[in-house]
Amino acid sequence: MSENAENRSSSQSLLTAVAISLTSCGLTGFASYFVSTQDNWIHWNVLSHLLTGIACSLILLPYFFIHFRRTTGLKRPAVLISGLTSAILFFLLAGAGWWILLEGQKESEQWIYDVHVYVSMLFIGFISLHLILHVALLPKRRKSRTDSAFPNTAPGFTSRLLYSNGLVVLFIAAATLLYDYNLAEYSTAPAVDNYQYNYGEHPFRPSQTETSTGSFVDKRQVGDSHRCINCHRDIAQQWIASAHREAALDPSYVSNVNLLEKKRGTSATRYCEGCHAPVALLSGELSAGGNHGGIAGTMANTEGVSCMGCHGIESLTHLKGVASFRFQPKNDYLFAQSDSPLLTRLHDWLLRVRPDQHINDMGRPVSRQSRFCASCHNQFMDKEMNNWGWIKMQDEYTAWLESPYSKQHEENFSSESTTRCQDCHMPLQASDDPSANEEGLVRTHHFAAANTMLPLLRNDQKHFQATKAFLQSDKLRISIDKPHRKDAVQTFQALNEQLRRSEDAPYYFYLGEKKTLQIAVTNNGVGHNFPGGSTDINQVWVEFLVMDAEGQMVHESGSMQAGNLVDPNAYFYGTIPIDRQGAHVWKHDLFNMVGESYRRVIAAGKSDIIDYSFSVPSWAKSPLTVSATLKYRKLNERYARWALKDKYIKLPVIDLAWDSLTIPLKIRKEVELSLTEE
């Protein structure tokens, strides 16, 4: 074979490869873009598009070089310009394709995907124009020498093109059928044999949880949060440090759920586990012979509120709480069930390059509403648990609805401009996470709140300091009202009245007199009642101190006493639950609760006024310094020692707000009156 013949054969083979890769890549690309179904067939199309796209970009590079070197001297400007434009467009779409291949689709970089799609359509248009112009402008001398406008195509070019693309279609169909045939179905049976229905026919009662199938859910569809970490490392690190992840690891929860199991049996723990360990509840572990979330080493224990524990919520069944959500598992991508490192990477790759299904599954509309949080941050107790009757307990959602932040309460007309739970507890933060929005921001998953205990138990000072900063971020205020005197004499000097600050009347105390000061505690930044959460075991109180100029204590209330206890006569905020005998339910064993003997909270936007009375001793040195501090401790001392057991640590007291006032002291001059007879 001559050198020209060999070159011609190589050129024909290269052109055939180019045509096959281009058409295969185009067919799978159009299928992936225009077919909206989310199933294994479309995933195989996406995978085929990625593979043919790689082949296409690698083959066209040498072809463009050979083709333009061979045709540069031809005097057909229109053909040349359309060809060069096609090449430029191909480099753009290939570059965007490789970026998506390596980095995946990101919301913050959506324009790259748009470039890939729209430039590919332009490329098809210009390459078609290039071929049409080539045929239309072919010189007469070339038309007379050959019957074909494309002499560089190999014999049987069309049939090879059809056969090759047919093989791609057959491969996708066969791969889909074989994969579906060999795919093991998820279990819908309870994890425990002879599952007990002690609370009626409903499988999850007394929890209020429902599932989209009406049956149990395979624990892999609720847990396996480590799979999410592969792509969402930044968010995952935040979740790992959060109280949500430690919802079942929390030693105080472990003590309480073990107490409930001991008193009422494993099936009773469903009341708690729907919120604290949904893996155990939904998979059917919570029956005799099963493991509740407090058992160390179980998936339910290590994951607590797993990624799917929140993102699997499709809707709410009602707003009364106790895990009142409807769970719907996400749709799987290819190889979602595989433990093979290679197939797992391929699964993650497919998910990143076509995230539509994942976004729909994990970003359900209800998750962006405040009512979403009501499923677990609202709570009630029914007769089936306390053997008494229905009582309302924690209700953060209703408190939010009645607050100024919801813009739905009675003092305002309804408005779309609301401050949601997510806006405070999941603020936006810059991140390179794939889920970041167009501004490069994600909702944080620390779930900033008031649990200062858990980060200290794991010696996480960073998270502790962040929690402390959140608590001290001017959400609460305390102020001492100045004790203006009606009998005060401002001055004996004659002054120009324009110099007098008449709005600030002077204040002072006399030695020996009894006075009352008013303290205002204001909930100006918490979107619900303060305190919230477990108001029966957390401690919030006011420390009120009066000292003279030499540091001698004149009056005190709310100081710490021996044994790390708070002054029992302090002014406390919170609740005291009681059982049917009227005894204090101090172990947080709420299944014994039938009511409350004490409740003091401050609604959002409201203030509480406290009166403190004391006598000014004759020995006090002027001036008096009055200080008022709003203090908070996660868990009161009695409960902490019982619940934490060998993990007990001295829990810190956080100053939420403070104010001080200096008051001058005076000696009251005795006035002698003498009566003389006329």
* Secondary structure in 3-state letters for 336-359: CCCCCHHHHHHHHHHHHHCCHHHH
Residue with tokens 């479309």: 42
Is residue 379 within 8 Å of 322, Cβ to Cβ? yes
- From 429, 402, 411, 407, select the one nearest 419 (Cα to Cα): 407
Q: Is the pLDDT of residue 3 over 80?
A: no
Cα atoms in the 13 Å half-sphere on the side-chain side of 156: 4
Q: Which residues contact 557 (CB under 8 A, 6 or more apart)?
A: 542, 543, 544, 545, 567, 569, 570, 571, 612
Q: Are 243 and 454 in contact (CB under 8 A)?
A: yes
Q: Which two tokens stand for residue 535?
A: 């108001």
Q: Residue 408: is its pLDDT beyond 90?
A: no
User: Is the pLDDT confidence value at 144 over 80?
Assistant: no
Q: Which helix (H) or strand (E) holds 461?
A: helix 461-471
- In angstroms, the Cα distances linking 136 to 44, 71, 207, 472 are 39, 16, 75, 77
Nearest to 445 by CA among 432, 429, 458: 429
Over residues 484-512, the pLDDT tens digits come to 877 655 555 555 656 555 556 678 999 99
Instruction: Give CA–CA dist 554/76, Å, rounded.
Output: 103
Amino acid at site 637: E
Q: Tell me if residue 73 falls in helix, strand or coil.
A: coil
From 103, 20, 22, 16, select the one nearest 57 (Cα to Cα): 22
Q: What is the pLDDT of residue 550?
A: 95
DSSP string, 657-673: EEEEEEE-EEPPPP---
Report pLDDT for 130: 85
Percentage with pLDDT > 90 across the chain: 73
Quickly state the pLDDT bin for 375 (edges 50, 70, 90).
very high
Distance between CA atoms of residues 502 and 275, nearest Å: 58
pLDDT of residue 643: 98
Q: Do 400 and 406 contact (CB within 8 A), yes or no?
A: yes
Residue from 135, 137, 179 nearest 45 by CA: 179
Distance separating alpha carbons of residues 669 and 489, to the nearest angstrom: 14
Residue 276: pLDDT above 90? Answer: yes
Q: Is 156 left (phi over 0), alpha (psi -120 to 50) or beta?
A: left
CA atoms within 13 Å, Cβ hemisphere of 273: 34
Read off the pLDDT of residues 577-600 as tens digits, 9 standing for 90 and up.
999 999 999 999 999 999 999 999
- pTM equals 0.87
CA distances from 408 to 20, 403, 475, 482 (A): 61, 8, 21, 36
Average pLDDT over residues 263-270: 96
Q: How confident is the model at residue 670 (pLDDT cuts 50, 70, 90)?
A: low
Q: Residue 286 carries which side chain, given as an amino acid letter?
A: L
Note whether 48 and 86 are within 8 A (CB): no
DSSP secondary structure letter of residue 602 = B
Beta strand extents in 182-269 (DSSP E only): 210-211
pLDDT value of residue 638: 97
Question: Would strands 571-578 and 210-211 be described as parallel, antiparallel, or unpaired?
Answer: unpaired
More confident residue, 141 or 420: 420
Integer Cα distance of 311 and 350 in angstroms: 20
**Residue 622: CB atoms within 10 Å:** 16
Mean pLDDT of the chain: 89
Residue 83 has pLDDT above 60, yes or no: yes
Closest by CA to 355, choosing from 438, 255, 435, is 435
Is the pLDDT confidence value at 674 over 90?
no
Residue with tokens 């199933």: 39
Work out the number of other CB atoms within 10 angstroms of the CB of residue 260. Answer: 23
Sequence-distant (≥ 6) Cβ neighbours of residue 624 within 8 angstroms: 509, 546, 547, 548, 549, 554, 616, 662, 663, 665
pLDDT at 677 over 50: no
Is the model's pLDDT at 678 over the cut of 50?
Answer: no
Residue 348: pLDDT over 80: yes
- Residues 639-667 have pLDDT tens digits of 999 999 999 999 999 999 999 999 999 99
Q: What is the pLDDT of residues 146-194, one digit of tens each?
A: 445 455 566 777 888 888 889 999 999 999 999 999 999 999 999 999 9
Task: Kindly report the length of the chain.
Answer: 678
Give me the residue label for tokens 């929390």.
250
The CA-atom distances, in angstroms, between 65 and each of 7, 87, 156, 363, 566 are 15, 10, 25, 46, 83
pLDDT at position 391 is 93
Tell me the two tokens of residue 584. 């204090």
Averaged pLDDT for residues 445-453 = 95
Residue with tokens 């689709």: 105
pLDDT in tens, 218-257: 999 999 999 999 899 999 999 999 999 999 999 999 999 9
Average pLDDT over residues 36-63: 88
Q: Rounded to whole angstroms, how far apart are CA atoms 562 and 468?
A: 25
How many CA atoms lie less than 13 Å away from 149 in the CB half-sphere? Answer: 10
pLDDT at 153 (0 to 100): 62
Look at residue 194 in the predicted model and tell me its pLDDT: 93
**CA–CA dist 614, 557 (Å, integer):** 11
* Cα 280 from chain centre: 21
In the chain the first and final C-alpha atoms are separated, in Å, by: 156
Residue 306's pLDDT is: 97
Exposed/middle/buried for residue 672 (C-beta within 10 Å: 0-12, 13-18, 19+)? exposed
Give me the pLDDT at residue 146, please.
Answer: 47
Helix (H, G, I), strand (E, B) or coil at 109: helix
Instruction: Evaluate if residue 287 carries a pLDDT over 80.
Output: yes
State whether residue 595 is helix, strand or coil.
strand
Give, for 536, the enclosing helix (H) or strand (E). Answer: none
Distance CA 280, CA 271 (A): 12
The first and second tokens of residue 124, run together, are 């098809």
- Nearest by Cα to 476 from 542, 566, 571: 542
